[in-house]
Amino acid sequence: MTTKTRGGNFFEDFRTGHVFHHAVPRTLTEGDMAVYIALTGDRHPLHCDREFARSLGYDQEVAHDLLVFHIVFGRAVPDVSLNSPANLGYADVRFLAPVYAGDTLRAETEVIGRRETSRPDVGIVWVRTRGFNQRQEPVLQLYRWAMVNKRDPNTRLRRTDDAPELPLRVATEDLHVPPQMDLSQFDNVVTGGQFFWEDYEPGERIIHPQGFTIEDAEHQSATRLYQNNARVHFNEMLQKKSRLGTRIIYGGHIISLCHSISFDGLENAVRLLGFNAGAHANPTVAGDTLFAWSEVLERIDLGRADAGALRLRLVGVKNLDPNEEDVPLRVKDAESGREGYHPNVVLDLDYTVLMPRRR
């Protein structure tokens, strides 16, 4: 037996300042974009209507921002999160240059901090991951922090905490609208949306009508498409012994499904600009039925006449239909008295989209 396989990095292996150059760059193709639609049901026309994309100034239909996110994220898994029981949060996620079929994405990740936790067997690692196309233009940057298993529960970091302070939101000046994009000719017959930037009021809640029951074959196919090889999504034998008792669905797939569900009521949200913050509040497994609502957090003036930014909270809920009953985001635990996410809330994503203004 040999040690030619690496089991991924453990908490002890991360050094603040180290940069991983991740393996297996990936050429995105029309094939990936079709499989993405087959697995998420996404209908945002920038990503499936070549003529519409051209009318906005793009060369052709653009890879879905979340497809780019998952591909970049997937590159980093073997180095960063193979031994991670949970991703804890995202910050300052920015979608930069558009990605077209034929572009090749690679990724690198800098370790930006570590912290011991109250549990001896896990620590927390903060990273900054960046994705680049074949012209070395950045297409995505993200901060995230994850719980990472220790190789040895007895190790302690010498300096136990150099956790960074991360931005609480993407700064308005960092919300990247591609220079070629021009929404002055935006045609809402294409989106089917009746509502524009001015029509969304902070505090407003939009309950999206669709519900998606998720199968193992579906989330596994999505996660494999992204070449994300975290074992917990694929190995039922391993997972049977886990607390959850079965394969856990890749949290990014849940983001994609919720974002697809959110099309009804936010049809004119042309594309994502960034994630401000995000949490996978509870796990999902095959058989769960996923619903979503959106809350309008803020209208952001981008200083342009054709479009503004809309900051939204996208909440995913499993096995309770918010169209039929009120589901609170957070609840107080009866025993501990502590407040936390409602046990059926699975996603709490604070993100920002580009939205055309009324003409």
Segment 164-193, which members bind a copy of itself (CB under 8 A)?
Answer: 189-193
What are the tokens at 217?
A: 């074959």
- Binding string, 304-323, against a copy of itself, x = CB under 8 A? ---------------x-x--
Quick one: 163 exposed, middle or buried, by C-beta within 10 A (0-12, 13-18, 19+)? middle
- Smallest gap, in angstroms, from Cβ of residue 325 to a copy of itself? 12
Of 6 and 304, which has the nearer Cβ to a copy of itself? Answer: 6
Please report whether residue 7 would count as binding a copy of itself according to CB under 8 A: yes
- Smallest gap, in angstroms, from Cβ of residue 23 to a copy of itself? 3
Among the listed residues 142, 66, 146, the one whose alpha carbon sits nearest the alpha carbon of residue 109: 142
- The one segment of 99-107, 114-122, 161-169, 350-358 that binds a copy of itself by CB under 8 A: 99-107
At 88, the amino acid letter reads L
Residues 273-292 that bind a copy of itself (CB under 8 A): 287, 289
DSSP of 120-174: TTEEEEEEEEEEE-TT--EEEEEEEEEEEE-SSTT---SS-B-PPP--SS--GGG
**Helical spans, DSSP H, in 56-106:** 65-80
Please report whether residue 221 would count as binding a copy of itself according to CB under 8 A: yes
Q: Are 230 and 148 in contact (CB under 8 A)?
A: no
Residues 103-142 that bind a copy of itself (CB under 8 A): 104, 134
What are the tokens at 84?
A: 């991670």
Give the Cβ contact number of residue 168 at 10 Å: 11
How many chain residues interact with a copy of itself (CB under 8 A)? Answer: 85
What are the tokens at 219?
A: 């989330």
At 232, the amino acid letter reads V
Candidates 102, 138, 153, 245: give the one binding a copy of itself (CB under 8 A). Answer: 102
109 beta partners: 20, 129
- The one segment of 157-165, 201-209, 269-277, 308-316 that binds a copy of itself by CB under 8 A: 201-209
123 beta partners: 116, 148
- Smallest gap, in angstroms, from Cβ of residue 139 to a copy of itself? 15
- The one segment of 96-104, 121-129, 178-186, 269-277 that binds a copy of itself by CB under 8 A: 96-104
- The one segment of 84-92, 110-118, 170-178, 235-243 that binds a copy of itself by CB under 8 A: 235-243
Cα–Cα distance measured from residue 139 to residue 130, given in angstroms and rounded to the nearest whole number: 8
Of 14 and 52, which has the nearer Cβ to a copy of itself? Answer: 52
Of 164 and 209, which has the nearer Cβ to a copy of itself? Answer: 209
Residues 243-262 that bind a copy of itself (CB under 8 A): 247
DSSP 68: H
Of 176 and 224, which has the nearer Cβ to a copy of itself? Answer: 224
Q: Where are the beta strands (DSSP E) in the chain?
A: 19-21, 26-27, 86-95, 104-116, 122-132, 138-149, 205-207, 212-213, 271-279, 289-300, 307-318, 330-332, 339-341, 345-356
Q: Are 259 and 352 in contact (CB under 8 A)?
A: no
Of 124 and 225, which has the nearer Cβ to a copy of itself? Answer: 225
DSSP 348: E
Candidates 215, 332, 340, 359: give the one binding a copy of itself (CB under 8 A). Answer: 215
- The one segment of 148-156, 175-183, 233-241, 276-284 that binds a copy of itself by CB under 8 A: 233-241
Candidates 149, 172, 210, 242: give the one binding a copy of itself (CB under 8 A). Answer: 210
- Smallest gap, in angstroms, from Cβ of residue 144 to a copy of itself? 20
Residues 27-86 that bind a copy of itself (CB under 8 A): 27, 29-35, 37-43, 45, 48-52, 61, 78
- Smallest gap, in angstroms, from Cβ of residue 86 to a copy of itself? 20
